[in-house]
Each structure stands twice: as C-alpha cells, then as structure tokens.
Amino acid sequence: MKSRLALGALAAAVLVAGCSFENKYEREADKITHAVMANDLAPVKNDISPEVHITRVQIAAASDELNDQGKLESIKEVTCPPNMAGVHCFVVKFEKNTYHETLAMDDQGKVTRWTYHIADAR
C-alpha cells in the first residue's frame, strides 16, 4: 500500500511538472510582469542587474498601465527581429490588449533590460 501511495505521489508530481510549458525566459518575463503589476519588485530584486536603476515612480506607472489591461492570460516567447540579437521577445496577452515585451540578460543571468509596449492594433 505504501509503495502504491508513493508511486501515485511521484506520478502526480511528474504530471504537475510536465504541465509547465514555459521556458526559463518566459518564466523570468512572467515573474517580472507579475512583480510590476503588483507594484513590488522585491520578488525579482535578485534577478535584476545592480547596474539597472528603476524608480518607484516608474514601477507605479507601469503597474497602473498593465493592471488597466485586465487579467494576464499568457506570455509566449517569439522570435525577435534580426536587429535584436541577444534579446528575448514575448507576446503578452492580457484580457483587454496584447503587449510585446523584451528581456535582455547579462552573462550572469541578471536582467539588464525589460521593456513593454502595447502591440499595434492592426
């Protein structure tokens, strides 16, 4: 009985892990987007390069804009244009609008740039 229970728990853990289809860059973009929406970068503080300086006013403005878009539905990495080598690009779907985000990281895996803008309404 104990072995069945352990096997069942292991199978459940594998299924849950298998449901996460985000790659590491999508996970990072998701963490940053949620932190910005919460107007609190504390959860991602150690992910951001110390060279990056962000004011509370900038975060508050970004938080207001992104929260106005409704529920965050998905973040999907897409191929960046050729002129953006070394940058990761994402399509971010909110309840009301779609955004594009970019994420650049240094050699230590720290975020050096994160940008967002509403997608063209074409």
Amino acid at 54: I
pLDDT digits (tens, 9 = 90+) for 43-94: 999 999 999 999 999 999 999 999 999 999 999 999 999 999 889 999 999 9
In a domain, 108, yes or no: yes
**For residue 1, is it within any domain?**
no
Domain assignment of residue 93, given as a range: 21-118
In a domain, 30, yes or no: yes
Residue 105 to residue 120: CA distance in whole angstroms: 26
Domain CATH for 26: 3.10.450.590
In angstroms, the CA 118 to CA 122 distance is: 12
Position 13 in a domain: no
Total domain count for the chain? 1
- pTM for the model stands at 0.80
102 falls within a domain: yes
Q: What is the DSSP letter of 48?
A: B
